[in-house]
Amino acid sequence: MGDILAHESELLGLVKEYLDFAEFEDTLKTFSKECKVKGKPLCKTVGGSFRDSKSLTIQKDLVTAFDNGDQKVFFDLWEEHIPSFIRDGDSFAQKLEFYLHIHFAIYLLKHSVGRPDKEELDEKISYFKTYLETKGAALSQTTEFLPFYALPFVPNPTVHPSFKELFQDSWTPELKVKLEKFLALIFKASNTPKLLTIYKESGLSNKETLHQLHQRLVEAERRSMTYLKRYNKIQADYHNLIGVTAELVDSLEATVSGKMITPEYLQSVCVRLFSNQMRQSLAHSVDFTRPGTASTMLRASLAPVKLKDVPLLPSLDYEKLKKDLILGSDRLKAFLLQALRWRLTTSHPGEQRETILQAYISNDLLDCHSHTQRSVLQLLHSKSDVVRQYMARLINAFASLAEGRLYLAQNTKVLRMLEGRLKEEDKDIITRENILGALQKFSLRRPLQTAMIQDGLIFWLVDVLKDPDCLSDYMLEYSVALLMNLCLRSAGKNMCAKVAGLVLKVLSDLLGHENHEIQPYVNGALYSILSVPVIREEARAMGMEDILRCFIKEGNAEMIRQIEFIIKQLNSEELPDDVLESDDDEDEDEEIMTNTGKTRRKGPASVLQGGDEPLRRPVTPSGHRNGCPV
């Protein structure tokens, strides 16, 4: 009762605020009167008048920046006050933002007296171009917006027929009306009473809890299937053992009657007791006629394996961890990121590592499901080089594990941030390497492959690989492997067709690079893109066959086989059926090789399929410490 009295004033204030918001005027009067009669104080909540005043100021500032063509001020206010889940998730908001970028890009062309300042115009066009290559890339498949992707490259848009509508007198006022209506709607929604906010947040919390429970259920089902397989194997071994035992009892009874047991019979019985892997070799290599041989082998095969007792690590306070990662000093952030990474990468493979990873995911350690402006993911943009590097290392560690990739892949925001950071990072080579490593491992998942292709990452990779001698071994190998993985998709091949000459020149130069680790990936990329007729024609025109035959003379047997298949692909006139690749396969992690190069999930064990054709499944390079960070 004491707790209720302590918060009664605030609770009554929340009720009053909601009644006022919902316009229950008579109810509000009666409620206020009864509170006064009973001597119940009403807490004055942050009223609508203050919020309305602040909202109006923000709206006015946005509209003023729109009218003045002040691009930076407008988008700073836009990103600060329009919630990210609306900007990224609402289709109307995305379309409006696209047109707003167009408005600012052509503002000088429409409002300048005489010729606009070239430097200022180039800056605005460059800003618009950057938007198209990053956030705006999501709308590139929409017919409505497709023509505007050519705007930055048109010398004089004012006379181009595709952009005639933009320069009509009515276009800007109509856009302004849409902006004002949108802002009015958004800020009205943001003035919702606290009681309603609490209710909504409670519902959201329940959804997150259900999501976490669902993840745990999926994990439990996976473990259940593993245990079921083990049980079935044990049961089969048990039935086999009973059968062999029965036969041995019959044999003992036969010896009592004076019948002899032949060595061949003894051998057949013993072989049945061993695992499938040992049967064939034992049948020919072990002399069962020697006394004690069979029993010794059996005891050795059944010797108990001493398993190391691996304790589970104590749980962490993830709420406090995330708070410190967001609000703590750069030194504290770096230490925490390092400790979290070490906790994962130095754990024992198996239950201990799975438990740690599931704890990270269920507590949304990286804020992949958060819609707040300040999140752990934002550490990728930290001003501190060390914090950015350690954040990139942690993400790379997540990406090294299939469940970690699945967690990161659920929000395309992560992919966009990594792509942006990869292109912008020029101070810390280790940060760049870890981001590239994470993206390369992302390319093992088809939806992320599609997104990277649409974002134009192939063009960036080709540009970087033009000068391979400036790259570290890690950057070179992971760049080529990522390029190959993207080229395995039909959309990736079509992207390469746009710059066929450049792609072919870069790949042919890489064939002769001193780092032989990249050769299988270069061969795989060439084999894949040469299935496109346009690229084949370009390759023939540049004498690609002669270039390839030069490498046949000095390559090893595997290299020669791969190049022969590439030449066969180059000289083909139509697309072979077995090279056709569908983009509609099921959404799964297509990993065939882990970063240690030891565990296969599917497909061939090496970069050759049966020692012949170049690989046609996504891969991750092995043999690097950064491949699976420690």
Distance CA 224, CA 227 (A): 5
> Residue 91 has which token pair?
């289709």
Q: Give the model confidence (pLDDT) of 616-625 as tens digits.
A: 456 666 555 4
The rounded Cα 197 to chain-centroid distance in angstroms is 32
CA separation for the pair 549, 560 (Å, rounded): 9
Q: Helix 533-541 to helix 544-554 angle, to the nearest 10 degrees?
A: 80
CB 334 within 8 Å of CB 387:
yes
Of 191, 192, 176, give the one whose Cα is nearest residue 60.
Answer: 176
Three-state SS for 578?
helix
Q: Tens digits of per-residue pLDDT, 382-435? A: 899 899 999 999 999 999 998 899 998 888 888 999 999 988 887 778 899 999
Q: What are residue 614's phi and psi, to 5 degrees?
A: -60, 155
Q: Which residue has the higher pLDDT, 619 or 261?
A: 261
pLDDT digits (tens, 9 = 90+) for 42-57: 665 544 544 566 778 8
Please, where are the H alpha helices in 22-117?
25-37, 48-68, 71-81, 84-89, 91-105, 107-111
Between helix 519-529 and helix 500-511 the angle, nearest 10°, is 150
Instruction: Report d(CA 467, CA 476) in Å as an integer.
Output: 10
Q: Rounded to an integer, what distance in angstroms lies between the CA atom of residue 258 and that of residue 264?
A: 18
Q: What is the mean pLDDT of the chain?
A: 79
Does residue 585 have a pLDDT over 60? no
- DSSP annotation string for 228-252: HHHHHHHHHHHHHHHHHHHHHHHHH
Question: How sure is the predictor about 587, in pLDDT bands with cuts at 50, 70 and 90?
Answer: very low
Give 84-99 pLDDT, tens digit per residue: 878 888 888 889 999 9
pLDDT at 612 over 70: no
The answer to whether 44 and 216 are in contact (CB under 8 A) is no
Burial track 345-384 (b if 16+ CB lie within 10 A, e otherwise) = bebeeeeebbebbbbbbbbbbbbbbbbeeebbbebbebee
Please name every residue paired with 589 in a beta bridge, in sequence order, or none if there are none: 445
Which DSSP state fits 608? E
Which tens digits make up the pLDDT trace of 227-259? 887 888 888 878 878 887 888 888 888 888 888
Looking at residue 558, its pLDDT comes to 78
